[in-house]
């Protein structure tokens, strides 16, 4: 009898087990070939992944970005072979950066053979920007579950805006797998607490309860009653005692879909390396291949050909095609037909959905943006930001966000009629209240962005440290998430060094694919937002002042539109031939402008360069950069109330940086500025010293 005939003669249960063991053995073989990776968790969780994908989830492998698909998040991303196996066996197709199906598999068998190697679409952890079918990058434990909360909020928001009687355009669910590490990390607790408060009944976390971490059994560190903790958060808690019982797993997932007003937490009791007769320890879970002999013994226990490698038996692809393939294709077909009718009846809303999917903006998105008149007293960056946010949120229906319990101080409240608060009873509100949860806030913003909303999260700049993990992932994923940070330097002087960012600017500027802008007055704030909102594949950080900054007279100084170049000549020496260049960012732009005026009166030809963004400036042509910072002018002074680290690239060996080499202090702002040299007289003195003038 041929292998095809054998497959056809199998019962459904036998075919299910064949598929599960294919997931297991592909994972084992890939880790063994790479001599790197985590085989145990994919082995243990293969039945769960198979049940979610082939029995439950609405996902069409032929169109993995179909808007109303269910989402699958592998938060314990070290088990990535579980996902690569499933994406391959379901024949999920690849999508390019323009959101077009490109007609080739997302993950090939050759990719799996080359697991964790250069060029393989089966990297060590799930990578959103690299592999179609990956809904979010995971790796740092806890980030996946926190991001899934943002996805669930996003789907609730979309349903509230777009669903109409007879048209459930958005009604999908988010399935998330997590482990002990995800639940130990604080970000997981923050996210779970908020998810319970918001009653996200479209969110399901399945907890791989295997009692093992790298250092050993969880009894040495993690003895809390996790189920009771989630009950206290307001979740529905279920338990499946046997990770190989497909029927009970499916029953639990059905119960999740039937549960209203509560997210669901399923405790799944597993054993690391299930099926391996000897490897019931941490090595299989955390980074060690089984070894050649153990692989053979494990395959023997599965009833698998011991010498076969990367084997996909006859019947496996067909089983997935008849399951998720057929079910997903039918669901997408029905949705497309429904959306066509919806488009005929609600054309404006349908157009919004289509724009969002391509990360485009509606016509007129920047209409009515404020223009600020010259004002010596000026306005704080955070206050200018508030005015811009309230315009953008009215022009862009899917633009929303909030602060980590700091909206009155960050000035992020959306106050126009109809903005509303996003709460359990009002999931379409535009004002997010994250609570004092900066870690989870940033991850949730990423989840909202992954749902194709334009979202922002805000806090004090010093607390960007708390949000940094998710900020970094937004850059890795190339998401247009927006992070708004106020209190950019010493403006909250009396709060002291714990609230005064020093090293944060240098640290975040070092992050690849991240756009950081530190605007110097209200009109630069407007232009910063104008630039940021047009980004499709890059996150952005806006660093804004707490204190009022003079609004520069643009009839005297260059137009603020220069922000789009990253740096521009704000004011120049008579005749345009400067002896010295003064470079400022953010709060210090007006300071260097004052120093410039003082130098001019003393007959010293100076140029003022406003440099809100190193990253944008570095992407300009060499010709433009040289026009702003002529190589022939060696005397340069950069002024920034932050670490001097990195400024040497712009001031050179002959230049100087007026910046911070220590932490700050607790005192009124003016006293701090005097103590640390952030006064125009000091900048003038430094410039004259460079020129050898007294």
Beta-bridged to residue 379, according to DSSP, are 549
Q: How far is CA 450 from CA 124, 346, 418, 533, in A?
A: 21, 24, 25, 16
Q: CA–CA separation, 615 vs 348, rounded Å? A: 36
Q: CA–CA separation, 655 vs 580, rounded Å? A: 9
Residue linked to tokens 């100084």: 557
Known catalytic membership, residue 293 = no
Residue linked to tokens 């909206």: 407
SS3 assignment, position 612: coil
Cβ neighbours of 346 (radius 10 Å): 17
Q: How many C-alpha atoms does 626 have within 13 Å on its Cβ side?
A: 5
Q: CA–CA separation, 95 vs 99, rounded Å? A: 6
Q: Where are the alpha helices (DSSP H) in 434-548?
A: 438-450, 464-477, 504-509, 522-533
Dihedral-angle region of residue 506 (phi above 0 means left; psi in -120 to 50 means alpha; beta otherwise): alpha
Q: How many C-alpha atoms does 24 have within 13 Å on its Cβ side?
A: 30
Residue 167, phi then psi, degrees to nearest 5: -130, 85
Burial-class residue 692 by CB neighbours within 10 Å (0-12, 13-18, 19+).
exposed
Q: Catalytic pick from 185, 294, 438, 527?
A: 438
Q: CA–CA separation, 273 vs 279, rounded Å? A: 6
* Strand blocks (E) in 220-307: 236-240, 264-269
Q: Name the CA dihedral angle for 219, 225, 226, 229, rounded to a multiple of 10 degrees.
A: -150
* Strand blocks (E) in 184-235: 203-209, 212-213, 216-217
Helix (H) or strand (E) holding 177: strand 174-178
Q: CA–CA separation, 225 vs 407, rounded Å? A: 35
Q: CA–CA separation, 429 vs 424, rounded Å? A: 10
Residues counted in the chain: 694
Q: How far is CA 517 from CA 288, 481, 509, 580, 582, in A?
A: 43, 14, 10, 24, 18
Of 623, 108, 38, 19, whose CA–CA distance to 321 is shortest? 19
DSSP secondary structure letters along 105-153: ESS-HHHHHTTTSTT-SS-SS--TTTSTT--S---STTHHHHHHHHHHH
Burial-class residue 651 by CB neighbours within 10 Å (0-12, 13-18, 19+).
buried
Name the token pair of 283.
């090595």
Distance between alpha carbon 334 and the CA centroid of its chain, in Å? 31
Q: CA–CA separation, 414 vs 624, rounded Å? A: 38
End-to-end Cα separation, the chain, in angstroms: 98
Q: CA–CA separation, 59 vs 68, rounded Å? A: 9
Residues with catalytic roles: 438
């Amino acid at each position: 009898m041929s292998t095809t005939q054998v497959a056809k003669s199998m019962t459904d249960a036998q075919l299910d087990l064949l598929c599960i063991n294919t997931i297991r053995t592909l994972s084992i073989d890939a880790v063994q070939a790479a001599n790197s990776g985590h085989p145990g968790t994919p082995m243990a969780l293969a039945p769960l992944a198979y049940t979610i994908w082939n029995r439950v989830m609405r996902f069409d492998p032929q169109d993995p970005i179909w808007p109303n698909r269910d989402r699958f998040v592998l938060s314990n991303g070290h088990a990535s072979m579980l996902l690569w196996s499933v994406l391959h066996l379901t024949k999920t197709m690849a999508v390019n950066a323009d959101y077009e199906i490109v007609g080739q598999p997302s993950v090939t068998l050759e990719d799996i053979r080359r697991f964790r190697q250069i060029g393989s679409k089966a990297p060590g952890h799930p990578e959103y920007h690299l592999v179609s079918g990956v809904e979010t990058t995971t790796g740092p434990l806890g980030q996946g579950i926190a991001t899934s909360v943002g996805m669930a909020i996003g789907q609730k928001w979309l349903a509230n805006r777009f669903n109409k009687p007879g048209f459930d355009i958005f009604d999908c669910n988010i399935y998330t797998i997590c482990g002990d590490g995800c639940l130990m990390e604080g970000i997981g607790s923050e996210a779970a607490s908020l998810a319970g408060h918001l009653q996200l009944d479209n969110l399901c976390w399945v907890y791989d309860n295997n009692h093992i971490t790298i250092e050993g059994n969880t009894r040495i560190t993690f003895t809390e009653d996790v189920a009771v903790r989630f009950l206290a958060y307001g979740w529905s808690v279920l338990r499946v005692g046997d990770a190989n019982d497909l029927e009970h797993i499916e029953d639990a997932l059905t119960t999740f879909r039937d549960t209203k007003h509560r997210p669901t937490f399923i405790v799944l009791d597993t054993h690391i390396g299930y099926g391996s007769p000897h490897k019931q320890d941490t090595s299989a879970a955390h980074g060690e291949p089984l070894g050649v002999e153990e692989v053979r013994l494990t395959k023997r226990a599965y009833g698998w050909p011991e010498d076969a490698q990367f084997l996909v038996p006859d019947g496996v692809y067909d089983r997935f095609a008849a399951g998720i393939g057929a079910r997903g294709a039918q669901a997408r077909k029905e949705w497309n037909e429904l959306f066509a009718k919806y488009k005929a009846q609600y054309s404006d809303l349908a157009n919004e959905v289509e724009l969002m999917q391509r990360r485009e903006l509606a016509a007129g998105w920047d209409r009515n943006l404020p223009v600020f008149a010259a004002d010596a007293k000026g306005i704080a960056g955070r206050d200018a930001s508030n005015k811009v946010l309230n315009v953008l949120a009215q022009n862009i229906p899917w633009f929303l966000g909030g602060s980590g319990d700091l909206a009155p101080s960050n000035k992020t409240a959306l106050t126009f009629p109809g903005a509303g608060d996003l709460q359990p009873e009002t999931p379409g509100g535009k004002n997010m209240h994250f609570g004092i949860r900066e870690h989870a806030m940033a991850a949730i913003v990423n989840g909202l962005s992954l749902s194709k909303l334009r979202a922002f999260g805000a806090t004090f700049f010093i607390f960007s440290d708390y949000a940094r993990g998710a900020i970094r992932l937004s850059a890795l994923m190339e998401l247009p998430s927006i992070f708004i940070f106020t209190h950019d330097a010493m403006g909250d002087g009396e709060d002291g060094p714990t609230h005064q960012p020093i090293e944060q600017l240098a640290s975040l500027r070092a992050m690849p694919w991240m756009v950081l802008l530190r605007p110097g007055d209200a009109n630069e704030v407007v232009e910063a937002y104008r630039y940021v909102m047009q980004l499709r594949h890059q996150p952005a950080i806006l660093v804004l002042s707490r204190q009022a900054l003079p609004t520069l007279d643009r009839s005297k100084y260059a137009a603020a539109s220069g922000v789009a170049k990253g740096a521009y000549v704000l004011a120049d020496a008579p005749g345009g031939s400067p002896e010295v260049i003064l470079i400022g960012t953010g709060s210090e732009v007006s300071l260097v402008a004052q120093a410039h005026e003082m130098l001019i009166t003393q007959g010293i030809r100076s140029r003022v360069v406003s440099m809100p963004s190193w990253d944008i400036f570095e992407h300009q042509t060499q010709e433009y950069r040289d026009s702003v910072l002529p190589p022939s002018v060696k005397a340069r002074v950069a002024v920034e109330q932050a670490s001097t680290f990195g400024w040497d690239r712009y001031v050179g060996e002959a230049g100087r940086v007026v910046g911070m080499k220590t932490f700050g202090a607790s005192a009124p702002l003016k006293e701090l500025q005097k103590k640390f040299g952030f006064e125009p007289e000091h900048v003038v003195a430094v410039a004259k010293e460079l020129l050898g003038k007294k």
